[in-house]
Structure 1
Amino acid sequence: MKEKVIFVGASGFVGTRLIETANAEFDIKNLDKQGSHFYPDITVNGDVREQSSLDSHFLGQQTVVLLAAEHRDDVSPTSLYYDVNVQGTRNVLAAMDKNGVKNIIFTSSVAVYGLNKKNPDENHPIDPFNHYGKSKWQAEEVLRAWHSEEPEERSLTIIRPTVIFGERNRGNVYNLLKQIASGKFAMVGAGNNYKSMAYVGNIVEFIKYKLHNVEKGYQVYNYVDKPDLNMNQLVSEVEKSLSKKIPSVHLPYAVGMLGGFCFDILSKVTGKKYSISSVRVKKFCATTQFDASKVHACGFVAPYTLSQGLDRTLQYEFVSAKKDNITFVSE
């Protein structure tokens, strides 16, 4: 008999790849407020904000993987971050308690550490700079309180991924890769700032690894594919993968931020969302490196190197013919 696992919020980018990765090894149910393009047969409707839509679906489940989150930079109203990420977590835990489910894997974020920290590990002080990071930290606190009520019986694994990229994703990394690949790319700053990244094919394998190795207690892991690349090295990776020379244009940081503020104003005036904003320029120029020694020392072996993940993504998005146009929007 396969272990029964319920994925909450797995109709999106990471969840779809996770189902693809784990479907043959687990009896999976996907609960999401949105339908699944690829796995409608195992998907049921439910919203983490509505307790009544959750409870009955947790009956007989052994482990929960909580992926559901509000995560874009431009969510409005900002209360949605807390309604979904914090209260939604409380509701999931209540549904688990009503059905005797003791194990949960929760995807948090390195956003809990804040910007421009010096390679924080899992014990680094918490200092989120936006509502997403604040709400993820509050959700973690709710989970830790839940675990502490029955620490000998419950299993809690918190995974804090860095920015995740991969095939079919439409987020900040895709937008960056697209700009670089098009040759219409201007580097803001010197390009020496490092970026920790995670390939979706690796993060889902780690979640599956933890599903196979559920143990009572509490564990928290940063997830990053190492070694980190700086922005100039990332451009070189794109050049190598696509066999093309990318023009090198550098803009001063002040000019880049000014452009970001202009797009902020334009967005407010028109009501439209743009790929450029002051927050995204600030994040682009920040050094975002995170220590992932713990995850890579726990027995898990990532199936792809970071270079391989970038190459697979670039080839799929900009070289190979596509069978469909299904994509997933994230940060």
Structure 2
Amino acid sequence: MKKNPTLVITGAAGQLGSALVERLSREKYTIICLIKEHHRTDYLEKLNVQKIIPCDLKDPKTYAKHIPENAIIFHCYSLSPGANATLQKYMQENALATKILLDVAKQKKVQQVIYMSSCSVIGPKATPGHSISEDDPVAPNEPYGKSKLEAEKEVQTFHQETKIPSLILRIFPLYGPYAHLNSTPIRICKLLQKKRFFMVGNGNNYYEFCYTKNAAEGIYLAFQKLKMGIHVLNISEPIKRTYNEVIHEIAKYVNPNVKIVRIPVPLALLIGYGGEMAFKLFHKRTITRLRTVQGLIGGWTSDCTKQVQLLDYQQPYTLEQGVAEFIQWAKEEKLVL
């Protein structure tokens, strides 16, 4: 009987990594979790994992010995957009760390590498009716996206040199437990707790808001079905919901009486241009940046055609189910009153 391979998950304590570990732990795999030293482990300790290794991916001495030959690597870790770091810092944590991890993978003769990239390598497209596909030209316009694109190039080079099967999965905006404190979902919750919530436009556009467990299911299916060559694939929710639906669903839990104030799109775009100027001058990420406004009017909408066709993907969680679980976690962590 063939033994299941060992699965190594980087960033296993993070928002996406923890959801992926939970999904993989339902199967009969040996799971090794690589985490940052400061990350919590209480959730991982409840799951069926063999090892939890605090490490620095840029320093192989802290983790290489824990990766067995013929393992499969799920590379979830990245310095998030909410970190507000410099381009140099993002390149170190996302691109350089990926290159070093792939060097270890080459030495260990791993079976497969699955890299969690981001739709940020393409950037928001605020064109009504146009969603982001895998074939769109890459054009990252901020440090995080640029670093993720460089990491994608490292994976492509790795595959060309080794012929080891590799997946580049472009993850779209997420929400779920273990979200970064400066992430968009947490900020939305806090803004909704005020008397007024300012909404760009009429809110009838699609808004990309992918529950981490839905993304984890897509990653699992890609791992199961795409075993040869190299593939680039969007991972998000095929069932689209509007910005109105997302905001009202969250408001049900955090502030049902919030007053929605609608800002005309042209005015919001003008404010966004001002935010871009402030970002370039002071390198501080604000909610009024142009790319944020573009996202609010549908610029991050994903094309999940390949995800559905290649993976036979069926979305396991609805918006209502995902938001309920997310808010429960946020309240337990006292991030939401």
Give the counterpart letter for 1:138 in structure 2: E
In the alignment, the residues of structure 1 paired with residue 313 and residue 291 of structure 2 have an alpha-carbon distance, to the nearest angstrom, of: 32
Q: Is the contact made by 2:200 and 2:297 (CA closer than 8 Å) also made in structure 1? A: no
Please say if residues 192 and 254 of structure 2, whose CA atoms lie closer than 8 Å, have aligned partners that are also in contact.
no
Root-mean-square deviation (CA), in Å?
Answer: 3.3
Taking a change above 3 Å as real, the CA distance of residues 255 and 5 of structure 1, as seen in their structure-2 partners, is closer
Give the Cα–Cα distance (whole angstroms) in 2 for the partners of residues 73 and 313 of structure 1: 18
The equivalent position to 1:9 in structure 2, one of 11, 25, 37, is 11
Q: Give deviations 1:126-167, integer Å, cap 9, x for gaps.
A: 11111211211121122112212343xx21111111101013
Within the alignment, does 1:83 sit opposite 2:114 as a pair? no
Q: Does 1:299 align with 2:308?
A: no
Contact between 1:242 and 1:315, CA under 8 Å: does it hold in 2? no
Counterpart in the other structure of 2:41: 37
Tell me what 2:326 maps to.
313
Structure 2 partner of 1:112: 121
> Which deviates more, 307-316 or 113-122?
307-316
- The answer on whether the counterparts of 1:54 and 1:92 sit within 8 Å (CA) in structure 2 is no
User: How far apart, CA to CA, are the structure 2 residues paired with 1:45 and 1:316?
Assistant: 24
The 5-angstrom pairing of residues 83-162 of structure 1 reads 83-116=92-125, 118-151=130-163, 154-162=164-172
In structure 1, stretches of 5+ residues that fail to align are none
Is 1:172 the equivalent of 2:184?
yes
Letter in 2 for 1:163: P
TM-score, normalised to structure 2, is: 0.81
- CA deviation profile, 1:99-147 (whole Å, cap 9, x unmatched): 1113011100111111225212111111111121121112112211221
Give the aligned partner of residue 203 of structure 1: 215
Distance in 2 between residues matched to 1:290 and 1:299, nearest whole Å? 17
Aligned to 1:232: 244
| Offset, 1:54 | 3.9
- Structure 1 stretch displaced more, 118-127 or 90-99: 118-127
Contact 2:159 2:230 in 1 (8 A): yes
Once structures 1 and 2 are overlaid, which stretch shifts more, 250-259 or 41-50?
A: 250-259
State the alpha-carbon separation in 1 of the partners of residues 178 and 155 from structure 2.
Answer: 31
3-state SS, counterpart of residue 106 of structure 2? helix
Contact 1:263 1:276 in 2 (8 A): no
In structure 2, list runs of 5 or more residues that go unmatched. none
Q: C-alpha displacement at 1:325, in angstroms?
A: 5.5
Summarize the Cα distance change of 1:113–1:4 in structure 2 as closer, same or farther, 3 Å threshold: same
Q: Percent identity?
A: 22
What amino acid maps onto 1:8 in structure 2? T
Counterparts in 2 of 1:18 and 1:112: CA distance versus 1, 3 Å: same
**Any runs of at least 4 consecutive aligned residues in structure 1 with deviations exceeding 6 A, and if so which?**
262-266
2-side partners of 1:52 and 1:316: how far apart? 35
CA–CA distance in structure 2, aligned partners of residues 259 and 188 of structure 1: 11
| CA distance in structure 2 between the aligned counterparts of 1:104 and 1:58, rounded to whole angstroms | 13
Of stretches 128-137 and 180-189 in structure 1, the one that deviates more from structure 2 is: 180-189
Per-residue deviation at 1:280? 6.6
Contact 2:11 2:33 in 1 (8 A): yes
**CA distance in structure 1 between the aligned counterparts of 2:149 and 2:285, rounded to whole angstroms:** 27
Contact 2:271–2:288 (CA under 8 A) maintained in structure 1: no
The alpha carbon displacement at 1:225 in A equals 1.0
Residue-pair matches, total: 319
- Aligned residue in 2 for 1:28: 31
